[in-house]
Chains A and B, each alone.
Chain A
Amino acid sequence: MKELSLHILDLAENGITAGASLIRIHVNEILSENTLTIQIQDNGNGIPLAMIENITDPFVTTRTTRRVGMGLSLFKAAAERCNGRFEITSEQGKGTLTNGSFQHDHIDRAPLGDMPSTLVSLMAGYPEIDIEYTHLYDGLNFTFDTREIRAELDGIPLNEPAVLQHLKKAIKQELDHIKGS
Chain B
Amino acid sequence: MGKLSVSDLKNLKEKVSKDMSLREGKSKILVTVHMGTCGIASGAREVMDALMKEMEEADRQDIRVMAAGCLGMCSSEPNVTVEIEGQPPIAYQFMDANKMRQVFKRHVLKGEVQTDFALAKM
Contacts and interface: CB of A to CB of B under 8 A. Distances in A.
Interface of A: 1, 6, 9-10, 13, 17, 63, 65-66, 69-71, 74, 114, 117-118, 120-122, 124-126, 140-145, 148-149, 152-157, 159-167, 170-171, 174, 177-178
A6 B3 CA distance: 23
A66 B49 contact: no
B70 A171 contact: no
Instruction: Indicate the member of B3, B9, B55, B72 with the most A CB atoms within 10 Å.
Output: B9
Q: Lowest 5 A-B CB distances belong to which pairs?
A: A125-B67, A65-B72, A161-B56, A161-B55, A71-B37
A141 B33 CA distance: 32
B38 to A, nearest CB: 7
B48 to A, nearest CB: 5
Given A6-B41, A9-B35, A125-B35, A144 B16 contact: no
Contacts of A177: 1
User: Chain B, interface size: which category?
Assistant: 35 or more
A39 B37 CA distance: 18
Contact of A162 (B10, B37, B41, B56): B56
Main secondary structure of the interface of B (DSSP, over half): helix
Nearest to A139: B1
Interface class of chain A by DSSP: helix
A149 to B, nearest CB: 7
Nearest to B64: A159
Interface in B47-74: 48-49, 51-53, 55-56, 59, 65-72, 74
A148 B41 CA distance: 31
B56 A159 contact: no
B20 interface: yes
A153 B9 CA distance: 7
Interface string B1-38: 11111101110110111001001000000000101111
Contact of B65 (A10, A125, A171): A125
Nearest to A178: B1
Contacts of B16: 156, 160, 162-163
Contacts of A120: 49, 52
A9 B35 CA distance: 9
